[in-house]
Structure 1
Amino acid sequence: MKPYIYITRKLPDEVIAPLLEKYEVKMWEKEDVVVPRSVLLEEASRADALLTMLSDQVNEELFSVSTKLKIVANLAVGFDNIDLAAASAHGVAICNTPDVLTDATADLTFGLLMATARRIVEAAEFVKEGNWKSWSPLLLAGNDIHHKTIGIVGMGSIGAAVAKRAFGFDMKVLYHNRSRKVELESQLGAAYCSFDELVEQADFIVCLTPLTPETRNLFTRAVFKRMKDNAVFINASRGPVVNEEELYDALVAGDIAAAGLDVFDKEPIDKNHPLLSLSNVVALPHIGSASIDTRMNMMRLCVENIDAVLSGKEPKTLVKK
């Protein structure tokens, strides 16, 4: 009997074609609806491999019913939706999709920074709503980006790629990371500093840190109050690193000028969320890596990892606990 693979979101036929030749494959057929937990657990109970999304919780409950499971390939670079300790205890390989999404995510992050600083989304809606009656000197005036200071919290591969883009705008680059990256400092001219120094000195604070117990709720009202009152905060990492209620309060009180958010504490965010009522918030639906080329490459990497493990080979991108 062929090994069984379950995919938790509908993927293009061309991507899964290599698997169909060798394995039994089933997909959740809805592109924009999370697979119900009951369905996921039932499918996991007989699966040899799972291809999962960030919205799928892969934990002890799932591993305990998955007697045949050999690999979980997560369609993301992050894996905070997966209990790595439980996976290790059950002998299940966990794979992610690093590197292939670095540049696309850095492009989106810097684009979000630009859109927020220069009020691009607000201005586009202003025109569409018929509010543009004449030119005036400060109409929808935003913040300059060039020659300003960007502070990057989380200097992994995406952070480094954002730093490269910042240098194209003649920006001074500060960064904070759990470990210092001396080689990157010499390559990019970036300056390492403490978290407190970064939030106090940067004009743009860009969060790219992974979600860990240490980074959860990292950005609070107290942190926002230490920022410049014209600072722009960008989060393209994970929603729970920010206390959203306190971010709202900071924006309303004028502690900071604006926020650009690609991620939220609970996704998808409800249309009535208080943050969405603010004109100085640019909100995106977690599309950091959402270019066609990049997403296709991410899918193919998941497929290659699954095929490798089920064929008794080493996967390309095994997550190390």
Structure 2
Amino acid sequence: MPIDILQLCPLMPSLEAELAKCYTVHRWFEMKDQAGFLKAHADKIRGAVTGGHIGIQMELAAQLPKLEIISINGVGYDKIDLNEARKRGYRVANTPDVLTADVADLALGLIIALARQLVRADHHVRAGNWTKGELGLGHRVSGRRYGIFGLGRIGQAIAKRLEAFDGHISYSGRRKLDVPYTFYPDINDLAANCDVLVVAAAASAETKHVVNADVLKALGPNGSLINIARGSLVDEAALIAALQNATIAGAGLDVFADEPRAPEALFGMKNVVLTPHVASATHETRQAMADLVLANLDAQFTGKPLPAAVV
């Protein structure tokens, strides 16, 4: 008899199709009577599949007495209470590594697009403004000072790519690593010593609003912010004020605090590049993520070690 799992958000169609082949899937996000469903079926649910952007509410997990695993389609697990998972004894798995290259690529894309005004340049041509005048000068990408907050898998992949641009790389994080980059224990010092600050750390209570008004002031009027991590790491009110007041030069943002809503104050700004959390959004990576979601579930239900266990 197929195992019952709870699907908490829409997923790639091919992943949904594979889940339907292997399990009895209950689509939580489409249910009109969620309380009624739990009353009738909560004790049948052995697994949950979710996205890193929503995780699972602790109140919901607490009502699933047979829950064995939460398989995340993504690398982030900040929306899941890991202490509760350990206490209750259910596993949490994610999809690390397979999306590292794509996220790092997008970070470079945002850096280049912002410095070389690619979005504005595209609009300049499409709007027929080229015949009326020049766009204006951008900034060089090669040879600049790049600071990376969070030198994990993704941060190191970004640094490797920046090396090819002759970037002068520094970083900040929990500890100094055996890497050929300058280490700053404090993010304020990191910001003060770079032209582009790249946010690549995991979201947690410790990193919430780690990029605040003081960090942006340290980054300075010639500095730019790139965020491909999570929106919660940046104080968006402080960022908007810094952009409006020319405290910093610009920002390239793929993530926001209240997705899918981005602050409307950013929309009219010419010194920002905005993308809708698409860092891992390639056919290749999304398929690899889907494969790992399925592998994590299969391992749990067949008594094998999880390929990508968080807890």
Partner residue in 1 for 2:223:
231
8 Å CA contact retained: 1:94, 1:319: yes
8 Å CA contact retained: 1:123, 1:140: no
The structure-2 alpha-carbon separation of the partners of 1:279 and 1:38, relative to structure 1 and needing over 3 Å to count, comes to: farther
Partner residue in 2 for 1:179:
175
Residues 1:256 and 2:256 aligned together: no
Residues 1:4 and 2:4 aligned together: yes
Partner residue in 2 for 1:244:
236
Q: Aligned equivalents of 2:245 and 2:81: distance in 1?
A: 38
The structure-2 alpha-carbon separation of the partners of 1:47 and 1:176, relative to structure 1 and needing over 3 Å to count, comes to: same
For each residue in 1:42-63, what CA deviation from the matched residue of structure 2 results, as whole angstroms up to 9, or x when unmatched? 4682421111013434132012
Q: Which amino acid aligns with 2:237?
A: E
Task: Give the unaligned 5+ runs of structure 1.
Answer: 29-33
Partner residue in 1 for 2:111:
113
Residues 1:142 and 2:134 aligned together: no
For each residue in 1:76-108, what CA deviation from the matched residue of structure 2 results, as whole angstroms up to 9, or x when unmatched? 111011111111121110001100000011001
Identity, % of aligned positions: 34
Q: Aligned equivalents of 1:111 and 1:13: distance in 2?
A: 27
Q: Aligned equivalents of 1:17 and 1:248: distance in 2?
A: 42
Q: Which amino acid aligns with 1:158?
A: I
Q: Which amino acid aligns with 2:254?
A: D
Q: Offset at 1:14?
A: 4.3
Q: Secondary structure at the match of 1:133?
A: helix
Partner residue in 1 for 2:301:
310
* TM-score, normalised via structure 1 length: 0.89
Q: Offset at 1:12?
A: 4.9
The structure-2 alpha-carbon separation of the partners of 1:291 and 1:21, relative to structure 1 and needing over 3 Å to count, comes to: closer
Q: Aligned equivalents of 1:167 and 1:309: distance in 2?
A: 40
CA RMSD of aligned residues (A): 2.2
Q: Offset at 1:133?
A: 1.8
Q: Secondary structure at the match of 1:150?
A: strand
Q: Aligned equivalents of 1:301 and 1:102: distance in 2?
A: 14
8 Å CA contact retained: 2:53, 2:76: no
Partner residue in 2 for 1:280:
271
8 Å CA contact retained: 1:119, 1:140: no
The structure-2 alpha-carbon separation of the partners of 1:216 and 1:42, relative to structure 1 and needing over 3 Å to count, comes to: farther
Partner residue in 2 for 1:190:
181
**Alignment counterpart, residue 265 of structure 1, candidates 249, 253, 257:** 257
8 Å CA contact retained: 1:155, 1:175: yes
Q: Aligned equivalents of 2:193 and 2:254: distance in 1?
A: 23
The structure-2 alpha-carbon separation of the partners of 1:131 and 1:163, relative to structure 1 and needing over 3 Å to count, comes to: same
Residues 1:83 and 2:62 aligned together: no
Q: Aligned equivalents of 1:37 and 1:223: distance in 2?
A: 45
Q: Aligned equivalents of 1:150 and 1:96: distance in 2?
A: 29
Q: Which amino acid aligns with 1:303?
A: L
Q: Which amino acid aligns with 2:242?
A: A
8 Å CA contact retained: 2:55, 2:72: no
Q: Aligned equivalents of 1:42 and 1:132: distance in 2?
A: 59
Does 285-294 or 53-62 show the bigger shift?
53-62
Q: Offset at 1:255?
A: 1.0
For each residue in 1:100-127, what CA deviation from the matched residue of structure 2 results, as whole angstroms up to 9, or x when unmatched? 0000110011101111111111111222
Q: Secondary structure at the match of 2:106?
A: helix
For each residue in 1:1-44, what CA deviation from the matched residue of structure 2 results, as whole angstroms up to 9, or x when unmatched? 3211232344456445655554323446xxxxx65796499468
Q: Aligned equivalents of 2:221 and 2:7: distance in 1?
A: 46
The structure-2 alpha-carbon separation of the partners of 1:35 and 1:117, relative to structure 1 and needing over 3 Å to count, comes to: farther
8 Å CA contact retained: 2:71, 2:293: yes
8 Å CA contact retained: 1:211, 1:238: yes
Partner residue in 2 for 1:122:
120
For each residue in 1:167-207, what CA deviation from the matched residue of structure 2 results, as whole angstroms up to 9, or x when unmatched? 1111110011112111xx1xxx3221232221001011000
Q: Aligned equivalents of 1:55 and 1:156: distance in 2?
A: 19
Aligned length: 307
Residues 1:211 and 2:207 aligned together: no
Residues 1:74 and 2:65 aligned together: no
Q: Offset at 1:222?
A: 1.8
Partner residue in 1 for 2:148:
152
Residues 1:165 and 2:136 aligned together: no
Does 14-23 or 148-157 show the bigger shift?
14-23
Q: Secondary structure at the match of 1:65?
A: coil
Q: Which amino acid aligns with 1:274?
A: A
The structure-2 alpha-carbon separation of the partners of 1:217 and 1:22, relative to structure 1 and needing over 3 Å to count, comes to: closer
For each residue in 1:107-153, what CA deviation from the matched residue of structure 2 results, as whole angstroms up to 9, or x when unmatched? 011101111111111111222222222554xx232111101110000
8 Å CA contact retained: 1:48, 1:69: yes
